[in-house]
Amino acid sequence: MAFFDGFQETRRDGADGVRLRVRIGGTGPPLVLLHGHPRTHTTWHRVAPLLAAAGHTVVCPDLRGYGRSSKPPTTDDHGPYSKRAMARDVVALMAGLGHGRFAVVGHDRGSYVALRTALDHPDAVTHLAVLDCIPIVEHLDRADARFAEAWWHWFFFAQPDKPERAILADPGAWYGGDPAVMGEENHADFRAAVHDPAVVRAMLEDYRAGLTVDRAADEADRAAGRRVGCPTLVLWSARDDLEQLYGDPLRIWADWAADLCGGGRIDSGHHMGEEAPDQLAAALVPFLAA
């Protein structure tokens, strides 16, 4: 399959003066795909055409701070890189494209943006699918020695200055990435991003926001009893560690989603969109059609 066959790359407005690099293709009910760390939107290059062929207008942005999207100055509270700010980007982007309501699928860090979009903008989101995640506050509430050993990077990335210095000393060694697995074009886009100091700083701000303002937002919603109202699907990688750390993720998501439509394992490592695109699309298409 050609790289993003039938899609066009463009620049569109997000919120707060942010400009987003976006790839758009297909026709039909609108669907946003939100990537994770340290990828860009090109991580979806094998899945997006399948979803477009299934009858969706598929919109794939680089999150603010990532890839070639804007990297706004940060603040002491890391608010410009909060998932709330990124959710505003998603809503503004889709409104600018003429879509007041849309489905959203997020992977890894993008899943936190997807969740925040559904919680903060319930009238905009028709369906929510979250891949390889539980809410940030649920991770942190369960942070034990196993979590610290496996997910130590959350806490290292949140430190001032040192993670930038460590990563930028040799981004290729830090992030790895195999073009044979990722696809040549996707790997080239990812590699250019992680070698850009401004991208690295912004990605780290995403993690700093995660342990501060994002955690506080989750805690406030949980205390107020707010839940996602739209149909919600939860998928996770069979060869990653989410299930090993927490057991059945659906049990955790049951407290966050009023209309939990199930989910399950995808037979892949963490980057399921790259490693198991057909299986992922096969899980998403009937859910989005319901």
Alpha-carbon gap, residue 64 to 66, rounded angstroms: 6
pLDDT score, position 177: 95
Query: Measuring CA to CA, how many Å separate 196 from each of 11, 132, 138, 167?
Result: 19, 26, 32, 11
Q: What are 40-73's pLDDT values in tens digits?
A: 999 999 999 999 999 999 999 999 999 999 999 9
pLDDT for position 287: 98
Q: Which candidate in 121, 187, 195, 270 is catalytic?
A: 270
Q: How many CB atoms lie within 10 A of CB 192?
A: 13
Q: CA geometry: angle at 114 spanning 112 and 117, to 5°?
A: 110
Give the percent of the chain with pLDDT over 90: 99
Asked if 206 is an active-site residue, the reply is: no
Catalytic residue among 35, 45, 56, 108: 108
Provide the token pair at 192: 């250019």
Question: What is the per-residue pLDDT for 143?
Answer: 95
Q: In the chain, what are the domains?
A: 8-289 (3.40.50.1820)
Examine residue 38 and say whether the peptide bond preceding it is cis (omega within 30 degrees of 0): yes
Task: Write out pLDDT tens, residues 236-277.
Answer: 999 999 999 999 999 999 999 999 999 999 999 999 999 999
Q: Which residue has the tokens 């477009």?
A: 52
Task: Write out pLDDT tens, residues 200-239.
Answer: 999 999 999 999 999 999 999 999 999 999 999 999 999 9
Burial 93-126 (b: 16+ CB within 10 A, else e): bbeebebeebbbbbbbbbbbbbbbbbbbbeebbb
- Who's near 21: CB < 8 A, 6+ residues apart? 9, 10, 11, 40, 41, 61, 62, 67, 68, 69
**Known catalytic membership, residue 37:** no
